Structure 1
Amino acid sequence: MQQSQLEQMKNNNGFIAAMDQSGGSTPKALALYGISEDEYTNNDEMFDLVHEMRTRMITSPAFTSDQIIGAILFEQTMDREIEGMYSADYLAEKKGVVPFLKVDKGLDEEANGVQLMKPIPDLDKTLQRANERNIFGTKMRSVIKEANPEGIKAVVDQQFDIGKKIIEAGLVPIIEPEVDINSPEKEKCEELLKAEIRSHLDNLGDDELVMLKLTIPTVADTYKELIDHPNVVRVVALSGGYSTDEANEKLKDNQQLIASFSRALTQDLNVKQTEDEFNDTLQKAAESIYRASVT
């Protein structure tokens, strides 16, 4: 872990760009970008196209550490190059942006109102490669749909169990137990989740640091005590399916909670835009998310 990157994640104004769409979500991301499924014939072509999109974003003059302090990458992106450099090296050295890696393998079937993560059998090897590729931290996602104490406890237990392995590998885990924005019990889910996370944070050693990625809460500043916890580097918010405008408005109500948006950053980008149009659109999206993150 680089101390300068740790300080950046703790203290700098800005947000984290979530660029970690994987096999299941890549067709949607490409369709939003204006590339339909009949324009590629297999996964290799699909991943080539999405890497071109990500490269276009990262190399854009609108993609700057003045607003974007970190970026979450898909595993394939970590192993690919941007202008002759591995993606994480390009982000860190050319853009001053801290690189993270999505390490989960997707979600299990729903049980007890939640979806745990599928097993991550090759985690040790992935973390070793992440270190070789100069990755700072990782991200892994679970989903909570009901205010089921047993299910929510299982989600947080799993996240922190794996998180400790990531810490041991010298990386900072982003723990992401997403609460479904459509849950009729969203506020209750968030109260139960906060208590479970707090319990785990209080049992960490002084040098065991984590980040949290949480759904923007129904009640503003619900997560303030987690933001202030000494073991938490930063708490970031996912857009969760909200539009950019709605996500930004909700985010503004939460002090020191910053964005880690995916669709909200890319929703107006299109493959057919000229470079000027693309850069201008990305700049406007980044500016709006930045403003919401520093409120």
Structure 2
Amino acid sequence: MNTQDMRQKIKAGQGFIAALDQSGGSTPKALAGYGVDEGAWSTEDEMYGLIHDMRSRIITAPSFGSGKVIGAILFERTMDGQVEGKPTPQALIERGVVPFIKIDKGLEEERNGVQLMKPMPELDALLTRAKALGVYGTKERSVINQANEAGIAEIVGQQFEVATHVLRHGLVPMIEPEVNIKSADRAASDRLLRDEILRHLDRLPEGSEVMLKLSIPAEAGLFQPLVEHPRVLRVVALSGGFSRQDACSELAKNPGMIASFSRALLSDLRHQQSDQEFDQTLGQAIDDIHCASTEKVAA
């Protein structure tokens, strides 16, 4: 796939994007969920080696290359690693999966009801390396915990500032201002976020395209103006702590949104499974999430 092929797959592909981007702080939890406890490694490098083995197993599973997964978000170390002797982005592209890279370095402490992204002093070097490896786009996450108008304006402003930087490197930014689904005023946050994103989208230069990765809204269909905006390549949904069943049920009520799930995709996979059991389990999750992404129901 060349860049135009990848753009077309993301824009119109009937599938979803797998989030394989657990980073330093979340890696032990991801490994524990996979059936690997902390006693299995003694150094950080060994820990990252184990998570890379898990991701390699996912990427090489027959069900992952079935055509239902159209993209995958990678952690930096995964991008720099290899799968079956090839750079991970190349291994994905050969399976028809468009590679993205997580670029944020974690979250600041909460202020005005939100958590901004930490500084990214090595961003230019990372973007240059990603582009050379064939990566198509980036993903950057921040979090909204309260319906605070000033905080949400600040978080969206930071996201679009980073997105503009990514665009200059010839990559497509996936903007992820996550609304905490446990927030008491989640619905109000959704509305404030939608309106603030629309303001920034309208200011983007003609020809610029971004992606949006958003929590599934409390009100089905709320993000339809974002789905239809000419500067938006695709709107994808995070599972945000929902079970796979609940995440798929809620996603199916939102036309135009496809999944970009992590825990909801990987929750039933175990290190101890045989390759056949592993692929069957992964295949069932892929089928469920693909269905919710492509077959919509009335809210």
- What is the TM-score when the length of structure 2 is the normalising length? 0.97
Which amino acid is the alignment partner of residue 222 of structure 2?
A: T
Aligned twin of 1:242: 242
Match runs of 1:2-41 below 5 Å: 2-41=3-42
The answer as to 2:112 corresponding to 1:106 is no
Match runs of 1:161-172 below 5 Å: 161-172=161-172
1:152 offset after TM fit, Å? 0.2
> Once the two structures are superposed, what CA deviation does each residue of 1:192-248 show, in whole Å capped at 9, x if it has no partner?
000000000000112111000000000001100100001100000000000000000
**Sequence identity percentage:** 52
Alpha-carbon distance in structure 2 between the residues aligned to 1:65 and 1:262 = 18
Count of paired positions: 294
1:162 offset after TM fit, Å? 0.6
Aligned twin of 2:55: 54
Work out whether residues 109 and 115 of structure 1, in 8 Å CA contact, stay in contact via their aligned partners in 2. Answer: yes
Aligned twin of 1:259: 259
Alpha-carbon distance in structure 2 between the residues aligned to 1:40 and 1:246 = 34
Which amino acid is the alignment partner of residue 105 of structure 2?
A: K
Aligned twin of 1:88: 89
Work out whether residues 178 and 215 of structure 1, in 8 Å CA contact, stay in contact via their aligned partners in 2. Answer: yes
Work out whether residues 103 and 123 of structure 1, in 8 Å CA contact, stay in contact via their aligned partners in 2. Answer: yes
Aligned twin of 1:188: 188
Match runs of 1:96-135 below 5 Å: 96-135=96-135
1:64 offset after TM fit, Å? 1.8
Alpha-carbon distance in structure 2 between the residues aligned to 1:128 and 1:276 = 38
Alpha-carbon distance in structure 2 between the residues aligned to 1:44 and 1:84 = 19
Q: Secondary structure at the match of 1:271?
A: coil
1:265 offset after TM fit, Å? 0.6
> Once the two structures are superposed, what CA deviation does each residue of 1:62-98 show, in whole Å capped at 9, x if it has no partner?
10252100000000001000011000001002x1100
Alpha-carbon distance in structure 1 between the residues aligned to 2:3 and 2:294 = 24
RMSD over aligned Cα atoms: 0.7
The answer as to 2:227 corresponding to 1:227 is yes
Alpha-carbon distance in structure 2 between the residues aligned to 1:42 and 1:193 = 40
Alpha-carbon distance in structure 1 between the residues aligned to 2:174 and 2:206 = 17
Alpha-carbon distance in structure 1 between the residues aligned to 2:96 and 2:88 = 12
Which amino acid is the alignment partner of residue 47 of structure 1?
A: Y
Find runs of 4+ consecutive structure 1 residues off by over 6 angstroms.
none
Structure 1 stretch 59-68 or stretch 245-254: which is displaced more? Answer: 59-68
Which amino acid is the alignment partner of residue 217 of structure 1?
A: P
Aligned twin of 2:201: 201
1:107–1:10 CA distance, 2 compared to 1 (3 A): same
Alpha-carbon distance in structure 1 between the residues aligned to 2:44 and 2:261 = 25
Q: Secondary structure at the match of 2:25?
A: coil
User: Structure 2, unaligned stretches of length 5 or more?
Assistant: none
Q: Secondary structure at the match of 1:258?
A: strand
Alpha-carbon distance in structure 1 between the residues aligned to 2:82 and 2:269 = 22
Match runs of 1:146-157 below 5 Å: 146-157=146-157
Q: Secondary structure at the match of 2:157?
A: helix
Q: Secondary structure at the match of 1:234?
A: strand
Q: Secondary structure at the match of 2:206?
A: coil
1:38 offset after TM fit, Å? 1.1
Work out whether residues 65 and 97 of structure 1, in 8 Å CA contact, stay in contact via their aligned partners in 2. Answer: no
Alpha-carbon distance in structure 1 between the residues aligned to 2:64 and 2:20 = 12
Which amino acid is the alignment partner of residue 239 of structure 2?
A: S
Aligned twin of 1:213: 213
Alpha-carbon distance in structure 2 between the residues aligned to 1:192 and 1:69 = 30
Which amino acid is the alignment partner of residue 159 of structure 2?
A: Q
Work out whether residues 113 and 146 of structure 1, in 8 Å CA contact, stay in contact via their aligned partners in 2. Answer: yes
Work out whether residues 146 and 186 of structure 1, in 8 Å CA contact, stay in contact via their aligned partners in 2. Answer: yes
Q: Secondary structure at the match of 2:260?
A: strand
Work out whether residues 69 and 97 of structure 1, in 8 Å CA contact, stay in contact via their aligned partners in 2. Answer: yes
- What is the TM-score when the length of structure 1 is the normalising length? 0.99
Alpha-carbon distance in structure 2 between the residues aligned to 1:40 and 1:125 = 30
Q: Secondary structure at the match of 1:202?
A: helix
1:160 offset after TM fit, Å? 0.1
The answer as to 2:80 corresponding to 1:79 is yes
Alpha-carbon distance in structure 1 between the residues aligned to 2:3 and 2:163 = 18
